[in-house]
Structure 1
Amino acid sequence: MSSVLIIIFGLIGMAFGWFVYSRFIATHVFKLDPEFVTPAHQFNDGADFHPTNRLVLWGHHFTSVAGAAPIVGPAIAVYWGWVPAVLWVVFGTIFFAGLHDMGALWASNRHHGKSMGALAESVIGKRTRMLFMVVVFLVLLMVNSVFGVVIANAFITTPEAVFPAWAAIVVALIIGQLVHRGIGKLITISCVGVVVLYISIYAGSYLPIALPANILGLPPEASWILLLFAYAAVASLLPVWMLLQPRDFINGMQLFVGLLLLYGAVMFSLPDISAPAFNHQVALDTPSIIPLLFVTIACGAVSGFHGIVASGTSSKQLDKEPDARFVGYLGAVGEGALALITIVTVSGVALATTTQEWHETYSHFGEGGTKAFILGGANLIQSGWGVPREISETLLATMVILFAGTTMDSGVRLQRYIIEEWGHIYDIQWMKKDIIATLLAVGSCLLIAFGAGDSSGSGGMIIWPLFGSTNQLLAAMTLLIISVMLLKLGRPVIYTLIPMVFVLTMAFLSAIVIFFEFIEKGDHLLAAIDLVVLITTIFVILESISTVRTHLANRRS
């Protein structure tokens, strides 16, 4: 089958989602009001709360939520076959992810820019707040700890990407200053920044940078992780206009160029699909496609982490409430487009010329990931555009690193917000201070990274198996909060309730499956954490049901 047909199907579906479905939801369900005074204007402090051009904010939101997940998840899930992966990405983007992200932005915007954890108290009750915030903190801890490892490993395996990855930070700082001081137009300056970024990618192909094998007794992986978290700590304390916004915006633009290169390469080379539509030759230890498909592909279909970003940083920068549709829903469409091209890349002849060769590459579940994407994508760009394979690999590796880096930047900032919120909730003065909260956030990640006695700093990978189900349970709880809000406002609730029930069911079943796997393997710590998340979810649901019943009873009386 030609991969072009998959591309056409996916893009037409996502276009329907943006032009038709999202407009209906924004107008008739969320009723986005251009006259509503957003928290960015109400609490403008020039640091965290800052009214932002919707294009810039889209870049921040998109690159913060994307990370490496819309590449890794689809590139692994295609093991079950490309058809179920494509269907979940396309329909998940249209009816789940866009709705979830736009809804989280709207809900936070209507509650003074509160995070989903703090928002749970306003919508459901005090007891829910702490339960919700624990799950949010766990998800952030997993994301930050693991993405540090992902970036460090990418620096080691692709040293050509080190120079452009760090050069992007310098470029972003310069752009931030120019825009803030009103020197030049945003689009013009950003386009120049992207050109400089691509020049650095070309230069990086000939300037590989590698750390020494031993720095103060630490291997290169550990040294990179320490450097990355030191950078993330500083970045999380800077005003959003200085680094976060310009870096995310140029990353969004360079991803747009990357998508054009990949999609254009498909149109020019017309590659066939070598992977099976449904894989009937799976290994004996392969997990069941239901429910695991729906937690393996999270970002690119629907992801609870998006709700954290939407309510944690993006809602504090929303200039006008209708921008929530552009930033939230279109951000989800962009991520869905990345997930779709990832599926085509790792399923086509760019990676494996025959079905048998594809089976050799994907011999077991869990294989593939970013390595398959970079290899297949580089071959695809070379065949479609004639770009040398070495430069194509550097380009794609840099794209993955920059995405993971922006997610890590926002993740540490969001961890700081949660710690500061705990300080306000329990009136603990020292927890309210930015620097101390940041040190606690970074310290918790490093404790996970090095606390398991792993000198490479890769300890965060230990809790990663919990991410899929925990992240999707968080997405279901976010949709639950949005549904309760809509019910209290007397608005249609079915559009959020149906996705919530579906995601909750699949994520809950996945968490149960994973729990018994942990027990069988003797991973009692992971089993205990999984059980805590399951119990927390049950309590949030029960509290929500109680709130709804009380509301309905009061309305009848």
Structure 2
Amino acid sequence: MSAAPIMIFTLCVLAIGYRYYSAFLAAKVAVLDDTRVTPAHRLYDGQNYHPTHKWVLFGHHFAAISGAGPLVGPVLAAQFGYLPGLLWLVIGVVLAGAVQDFLILAASIRRNGRSLAEIAREEIGPLAGGTAAIAILFIIFNALAGLGLVVVKALGGESFTRSDGTVMQIAGSSWGTFTIFCTIPIALFVGLYMYRFRKGRVVEASLIGAALVFVATWAGSFIPGSFLAPIFDMSQKEVIVAIMAYGFLASVLPVWVLLCPRDYLSSFLKIGTVAGLVIGVVLVNPTLQMPPLTEFAAGGGPVLPGKVFPFVFITIMCGAISGFHALVSSGTTPKMINKEGDARVIGYGTMLIEGLVGVVALIAACSLAPGDYFAINTDLRTQSSYEQRLSEMGYTPTQLSQYEMETGEQLQGRSGGAVSLAVGIAQIFAGFPLFAALVSFWYHFAIMFEALFILTTIDTGTRIARFLLQEMGGKVWPQFGRQDWMPGTLISSALTVAGWGYLIWTGNIDTIWPMFGIANQLLAVVALSVAGTVMVNTGRTRNLWVVIVPMAFVTTTTMTAGVQLIQRFLDLGQSPIPSDSFKGYLNAFLIVAMMVSVAIILWESVRRWMRPTARSPLPTGKAAEA
């Protein structure tokens, strides 16, 4: 199957969805009104409430929501074949993911930029609000752990002994680590340039920042073998500590210092790279070597546990629908919206781009030979147990040695999806004229590109969790809830980082990623139920189907996967190894806690929907001002 027709089909569906479906949602469901003063103006404080240019905020929001999910999820789901993931990405993003993001953003703008938990408390009731706050914290910890682990696997070195006594070693990537480290001072410079040196020169600052990132990627090629190599050739544990330190600092600094410029710079590079990949797919037209469905659709795959249903949905998640996005849509973004009309392109439009990113990632992964794909994505600890079955299927490595020579990196056993995606991206770019000799550069550029997706979500996610912890703590101690009280900010940020950092430290990709998927999709169920309740409370029940249909589907798939994962973790709890036993029972408890919390919120939402006491529609114009 050629990739170009798939890409053209995807672009057409997304364009139709934005042109017609988002217009319907804006006019009939969200009822956007540019005459209303947004919280960014009404509550301006220069710290969290800050009116922002539409396209700058578009970049910030896209950077914040586009973590590893749309990149890594489709790559891991390629284990089942390219067809299941493709269908869910294209259909899910138009009818589910973009709907959720847009409606929650609109609801938060109308409520002074309140968080998802506070909206749930106001619209559904105190039980749902309190439960949502606790569930969201659990979910953020799992989500950020899943994202962070991808960076750890791509950059960090590791040494371990297999069950047969063989000592295995995976070298760290000093080139990749150096390049990603350089993006932090570059982002700080771009922030000062846009907000202090050359105010309002957004395009100018972005072009300079993008050029500096390319220079940093090129400079990284001189790091391996140099005197700086020991500094940037980090173990996986050292990468974890570095990510935790970054997440803490980014969450306590003012948004204009690092978060906004880094996110905008990241989005500038992300959108540019995605556009380049889309053009590359159409022009180079790689062949999808992965079949539409593999034998692993029935379960037993080496990359992820479970069958194609329901695991393709919790594996792909962010590219089709992501509950984490609802936290951004009710966190930093509504506090920065300049006018309500901007919510359509920011809420619905950015999610469509994320869906496109997912399709590009799927194509890049499936353009590799299946044998090479599985050799890269199967953990070295378990690779020997799958070798015979993969060989019988004809999935033996064919070009892996060539890829390792071209990239200058060890690729086999680099599970997590990021490395195989980078190889696929490098091969697409190498198909352009004059780029064939630059495979190593494009591979490391792709690693940097993926890490930018992840780190921008980590800083935003940690900040959102900090907001939530301070809101919860403020109920007990009012001063703790003040955003301008630094001790509260530092304590809540430290607790958040410790929570997701512990999960990365003790987890691996085949346990953390499915848990991340469960957490993420359950949060999407919460967000859709809140959006539905807002519609009921404002007298818009006629179009309630826009949230009921995706909510019912996501609830079914996620609860089914959750039950299966609970059984798997309970089996792990029977392990004679104490650390594995504890991890199994802890993971099972976390999934049960999240599922029960979401069930309570769903029950409370449906009860609210059945009461004939809906409020009248929200006023607009001068009536709204009053």
The TM-score, its normalising length taken from structure 2, stands at 0.81
CA distance in 2, matches of 1:352, 1:331: 34
Give the equivalent residue in structure 1 for 2:522: 473
Q: Match for 2:515: what amino acid?
A: L
CA distance in 2, matches of 1:369, 1:316: 34
Structure 1 residues 58, 358: CA separation in 2 closer, same or farther (over 3 Å shift)?
Answer: farther
Give the equivalent residue in structure 2 for 1:550: 611
**How many angstroms does 1:521 deviate by?**
2.6
1:18-33 aligned within 5 A: 18-33=18-33
Contact 1:82 1:277 (8 Å CA) reproduced: yes
Contact 2:150 2:417 (8 Å CA) reproduced: no
**How far does the alpha carbon of each residue in 1:447-502 deviate from its partner, in whole angstroms, 9 at most, with x for none?**
5645x8xxx93558665542211211110110111111112212221111111111
Contact 1:93 1:333 (8 Å CA) reproduced: yes
Contact 2:150 2:418 (8 Å CA) reproduced: no
Contact 1:222 1:457 (8 Å CA) reproduced: yes
**How far does the alpha carbon of each residue in 1:11-68 deviate from its partner, in whole angstroms, 9 at most, with x for none?**
1111111122111211121111111111111111111111111111111111111111
The TM-score, its normalising length taken from structure 1, stands at 0.91
Which stretches of structure 1, 4 residues or more, deviate above 6 A after TM superposition? 350-358
Give the equivalent residue in structure 2 for 1:416: 466
CA distance in 1, matches of 2:297, 2:562: 22
Any gaps of 5 or more consecutive residues in structure 2? 157-171, 374-389, 399-413, 574-583, 617-626
Give the equivalent residue in structure 2 for 1:540: 601
Question: Which one of the candidate residues 441, 444, 461 is aligned to 1:391?
Answer: 441
CA distance in 2, matches of 1:92, 1:14: 11
**How many angstroms does 1:281 deviate by?**
5.4
Give the equivalent residue in structure 2 for 1:255: 270
**How many angstroms does 1:335 deviate by?**
0.8
Question: Which one of the candidate residues 305, 321, 327 is aligned to 1:308?
Answer: 327
**How many angstroms does 1:227 deviate by?**
2.8
Further displaced range: 55-64 or 515-524: 515-524
Q: Match for 2:559: what amino acid?
A: F
**How many angstroms does 1:349 deviate by?**
4.7
Contact 2:473 2:480 (8 Å CA) reproduced: yes
CA distance in 1, matches of 2:372, 2:251: 45
Question: Which one of the candidate residues 176, 183, 193 is aligned to 1:161?
Answer: 176
**How many angstroms does 1:553 deviate by?**
8.4
Give the equivalent residue in structure 1 for 2:564: 513
Give the equivalent residue in structure 1 for 2:250: 235
The reply on whether 1:173 has 2:165 as its aligned counterpart is: no
CA distance in 2, matches of 1:258, 1:458: 33
Secondary structure at 2:114's aligned position in 1? coil
**How many angstroms does 1:96 deviate by?**
0.9
**How many angstroms does 1:331 deviate by?**
0.9
Contact 2:183 2:213 (8 Å CA) reproduced: yes
Further displaced range: 126-135 or 229-238: 229-238
**How many angstroms does 1:283 deviate by?**
7.2
**How many angstroms does 1:87 deviate by?**
0.7
Give the equivalent residue in structure 2 for 1:374: 422
Contact 1:57 1:318 (8 Å CA) reproduced: yes
Secondary structure at 2:321's aligned position in 1? coil
**How far does the alpha carbon of each residue in 1:220-267 deviate from its partner, in whole angstroms, 9 at most, with x for none?**
333332233222222212221221111111111111221133222222
Any gaps of 5 or more consecutive residues in structure 1? none
1:206-221 aligned within 5 A: 206-208=222-224, 210-211=229-230, 220-221=235-236
1:524-539 aligned within 5 A: 524-539=585-600
**How far does the alpha carbon of each residue in 1:395-453 deviate from its partner, in whole angstroms, 9 at most, with x for none?**
10001111111111111111110111012222353464444343343345335645x8x
Structure 1 residues 323, 263: CA separation in 2 closer, same or farther (over 3 Å shift)?
Answer: same
Contact 1:69 1:299 (8 Å CA) reproduced: yes
CA distance in 1, matches of 2:141, 2:534: 28
Structure 1 residues 551, 367: CA separation in 2 closer, same or farther (over 3 Å shift)?
Answer: farther
Structure 1 residues 309, 134: CA separation in 2 closer, same or farther (over 3 Å shift)?
Answer: same
Structure 1 residues 256, 386: CA separation in 2 closer, same or farther (over 3 Å shift)?
Answer: farther
Structure 1 residues 368, 129: CA separation in 2 closer, same or farther (over 3 Å shift)?
Answer: closer
CA distance in 1, matches of 2:368, 2:5: 15
Q: Match for 1:509: what amino acid?
A: T
The reply on whether 1:429 has 2:448 as its aligned counterpart is: no
Contact 2:154 2:419 (8 Å CA) reproduced: no
Q: Match for 1:374: what amino acid?
A: A
Q: Match for 2:253: what amino acid?
A: L
**How many angstroms does 1:184 deviate by?**
5.7
Contact 1:264 1:384 (8 Å CA) reproduced: no
Give the equivalent residue in structure 2 for 1:82: 82
Further displaced range: 193-202 or 389-398: 193-202
CA distance in 1, matches of 2:107, 2:236: 40
1:324-403 aligned within 5 A: 324-349=343-368, 359-360=395-396, 369-387=417-435, 388-403=438-453
The reply on whether 1:195 has 2:244 as its aligned counterpart is: no
Further displaced range: 475-484 or 145-154: 145-154
Structure 1 residues 281, 233: CA separation in 2 closer, same or farther (over 3 Å shift)?
Answer: closer
Further displaced range: 169-178 or 15-24: 169-178
Give the equivalent residue in structure 1 for 2:169: none
Contact 2:319 2:358 (8 Å CA) reproduced: yes
Structure 1 residues 139, 348: CA separation in 2 closer, same or farther (over 3 Å shift)?
Answer: same
Further displaced range: 73-82 or 433-442: 433-442
**How many angstroms does 1:280 deviate by?**
3.2
Contact 2:370 2:396 (8 Å CA) reproduced: no
CA distance in 1, matches of 2:62, 2:94: 16
CA distance in 2, matches of 1:446, 1:534: 23
**How far does the alpha carbon of each residue in 1:58-87 deviate from its partner, in whole angstroms, 9 at most, with x for none?**
111111111111111100112212111111
Further displaced range: 298-307 or 545-554: 545-554
Structure 1 residues 428, 434: CA separation in 2 closer, same or farther (over 3 Å shift)?
Answer: same
Secondary structure at 1:112's aligned position in 2? coil
Contact 1:345 1:377 (8 Å CA) reproduced: yes
1:454-493 aligned within 5 A: 457-459=505-507, 464-491=513-540, 492-493=543-544
Further displaced range: 94-103 or 232-241: 232-241
CA distance in 2, matches of 1:139, 1:244: 22
Contact 1:416 1:441 (8 Å CA) reproduced: yes
Contact 1:109 1:321 (8 Å CA) reproduced: yes
Contact 2:138 2:590 (8 Å CA) reproduced: no
CA distance in 2, matches of 1:125, 1:57: 31
Give the equivalent residue in structure 2 for 1:445: 497
Give the equivalent residue in structure 1 for 2:548: 497
Secondary structure at 2:46's aligned position in 1? coil
CA distance in 2, matches of 1:276, 1:210: 40
CA distance in 2, matches of 1:228, 1:406: 11
Give the equivalent residue in structure 2 for 1:138: 138
Give the equivalent residue in structure 2 for 1:44: 44
Contact 1:351 1:376 (8 Å CA) reproduced: no
CA distance in 1, matches of 2:457, 2:341: 24
Structure 1 residues 459, 428: CA separation in 2 closer, same or farther (over 3 Å shift)?
Answer: farther
Give the equivalent residue in structure 1 for 2:59: 59
Secondary structure at 1:359's aligned position in 2? coil
Q: Match for 2:547: what amino acid?
A: T
Q: Match for 1:199: what amino acid?
A: V
| Root-mean-square deviation over aligned CA pairs | 2.7
